[in-house]
Homo-oligomer: A and B are copies of this chain.
Amino acid sequence: MPRVLESYVGGGWVTPADAGQPLLDAATAEEVARFSTQPADVPAALAHARDAGGPALRALTFHERAGLLKQVALTLMEGKQEFYGLSTRTGATMRDSAVDIDGGIGTVLSYASKARRELPNDTVILDGPPEPLGRGGTFVGQHVYTSRHGVAVQINAFNFPVWGMLEKLAPAFIAGLPSVVKPAAQTAYLTELVFRRMIETGLLPEGSVQLVTASPDGLLDHLGPQDMVAFTGSARTAALLREHPSVLRGGVHLNTEADSLNCSVLGPDAGPGSPEFDLYVKQLVTEMTVKAGQKCTAIRRAIVPHSLVGDVVEAVRERLAGTVVGHPGDPDVRMGPLASLEQREAVRRAVGRLRGSAELVVGDLERFELRGADPERGAFLPPMLLRCDDTAAEAPHDVEAFGPVSTVLAYDGSDEAVGLAARGRGSLVGSVVSHDLDFARAVVLGLAPWHGRILVLDRDDAKESTGHGSPLPVLVHGGPGRAGGGEELGGMRAVMHHMQRSAVQGSPDMLTAVGNRWVKGAARRDDGVHPFRKSLAELRIGDTVVGGPRVVTRADIDHFAEFTGDTFYAHTDEGAAAANPLFGGIVAHGYLVVSLAAGLFVDPAPGPVLANFGVDSLRFLTPVKVDDALSVTLVAKQITPRTSADYGEVRWAAVVTNGDDDPVATYDVLTLVAKTAL
């Protein structure tokens, strides 16, 4: 008898006491594993996450957390063949498994890489620049993100047992929030296997990730204002979660991503024979057949110009004729079964409802060819295209057949296309296939308030396009209204979404201490050693060098103009410069000012400073006139050691002033500095 799936709770694997319910192979109905019907020990999982996982994660910097995730992901990638084998039993073809397994692991790698590039090597994220709150500069605001002291409970859908887990776990982990993963029963055996391999790496801090393969009863009961619930699934279940007392009154942060009736709009320019027509049909068929259409992002509504409806239907019919449906282990099979017989039954019912206002024009629920599989035991369906000519019909905008099903709707003009799309009441994704810039722009801006993601597909980007149905870790995933109102991915936005944003008000010294970034007005330190002589280990935030004064002569300006070729009239022509409304006379080049400033602050001998790799936010505030005496102050502002190099980045705040002490230019200088003295 197949074993009952185990939970990983409180630091070890826990075997359920009950016999569980059987989980069947989607294609053969053989039993694969069993799933406990009794509630898991949620209080134990939460306590372990709070007492062990949270503190352990919060003790690491963002870069350290990202580094661990990267190693875990590389280990999973090495052993992925094992996952593919088990994935077949969920009904997934090789292509489907790649989306789930490689897609999931790739998502972790993307987060890990972006975190190290875009977040500080610290435990606090600064949000935006300091906000001056008083004229004197002694009272300043700074928004910071800190880790919540809670738990992220992640309730996943059955369709992507690997990706679904990893896309939620990665940003929570980087945010410092321990995860409790609750997979959907139907495909939990694959989630359990991948989770087991993650734990076996020994890399993840104890309590930082736990797995609950058991009844979800009571999962939300013990959550509070520091906790999050991220849910992917039906709009109906999402509404039930919103009604839970922990959410209504307990302050739990709830994020939901629900199925939506995503649309794809074909442009009127894209008739048969155009590259866009072929792209449209190919994409529609792909979205109908990948994962047998069991994707929250699949195209449910094909919005097509009136005059092109017939052409689209015929082209889809033709393309689908070559789509082999059958056992997912067969390499020739393009579309496998649905995840379960229950899912097949639900899709059949939904198609029945759609047929109340639409005609089934491609595919036959009762008769279709099947390769190497038993239509009675496996959850097979054919791809089905419906056509609805009744513009008042509600069903195509409301009934989601979560399978290989799409409905063609006709429109005239971009306004009607946008209006039809909006009748879905909010979607995860919409696409526009058109090479007409004006049409596409109008539709994109019309769809935007209703969509989390919008793809414009055309001949220019088709080769690199990842397609309508693929959420990407760097882009928002989630959508308004019916799509759940969630926002789960989106690069570092997803990390910050797991953290608390607070405004901190205080003196510059206080804000420097809180954020580890020097704030204008905070103490500057000059211990007699030039800061360019200090390694990362020696350098402190606030270390300062002051250089100057150097007088800028008319000869300097003339010479710089001649030498660089920058003979702009404000630097060279007295009369014209005097007429300039902002200058009223000859001014020094901005590039001359910063070049001279570098000459005033640099320490020339070899040392720990390796290179100046950039400048940020340079602003010229006061024109530099002939005979102005320039001084410069350079303060170590932020120090970011790189995990994988023997140097790190130092951001310096530079201010150039004139003889009246007016700021002439402010900017950040970026250098690479060795970690230890060379």
- Residues of A near any B CB (own CB < 8 A): 124, 128, 131, 133-136, 138-141, 143-144, 146-149, 224-226, 235, 239, 242-243, 247-249, 251, 253, 422, 425-426, 437-438, 440-441, 444-445, 447-458, 460-461, 463-466, 472, 474-476, 480-482, 485, 487, 490-491, 500-507, 509-510, 513-514, 550, 556, 559-560, 563-570, 572-573, 576, 579-583, 589-592, 594-596, 598-600, 602-606, 610-620, 667, 672
Q: Give the number of copies in the complex.
A: 2
| B437–A510 CB distance below 8 A | yes
| B563–A559 CB distance below 8 A | yes
* Known A472-B141, A505-B456, A570-B611: A565·B131 in contact at CB below 8 Å: no
Which among B507, B556, B581 is the interface contact of A461 at CB below 8 angstroms? B507
Q: Which residues of B contact A582 (CB under 8 A)?
A: 610-611, 672
* Known A461-B138, A595-B564, A618-B616: A448·B144 in contact at CB below 8 Å: yes
| B251–A480 CB distance below 8 A | yes
Interface centre among A449, A563, A569 (most CB of B within 10 A): A449
Closest to A149 in B: B449
Q: Which residues of B contact A556 (CB under 8 A)?
A: 563
| A565–B579 CB distance below 8 A | no
Closest to A425 in B: B225
| A501–B513 CB distance below 8 A | no
Q: Which residues of B contact A589 (CB under 8 A)?
A: 595, 598
Q: Which residues of B contact A581 (CB under 8 A)?
A: 610
Q: Which residues of B contact A502 (CB under 8 A)?
A: 447-449, 451-454, 476
| A503–B485 CB distance below 8 A | no
Q: Which residues of B contact A248 (CB under 8 A)?
A: 239, 242-243
Which among B148, B460, B610 is the interface contact of A509 at CB below 8 angstroms? B460
Alpha-carbon gap, A239 to B452, bound state (A): 27
Quote the shortest CB–CB distance from A260 to chain B (angstroms): 11
| A620–B613 CB distance below 8 A | yes
Which among B422, B472, B564 is the interface contact of A133 at CB below 8 angstroms? B472
Which among B138, B456, B564, B583 is the interface contact of A596 at CB below 8 angstroms? B564
| B481–A225 CB distance below 8 A | yes
| A463–B602 CB distance below 8 A | no
* Known A437-B513, A461-B138, A602-B567: A466·B590 in contact at CB below 8 Å: no
Which among B134, B243, B509 is the interface contact of A243 at CB below 8 angstroms? B243
Closest to A619 in B: B614
| A505–B604 CB distance below 8 A | no
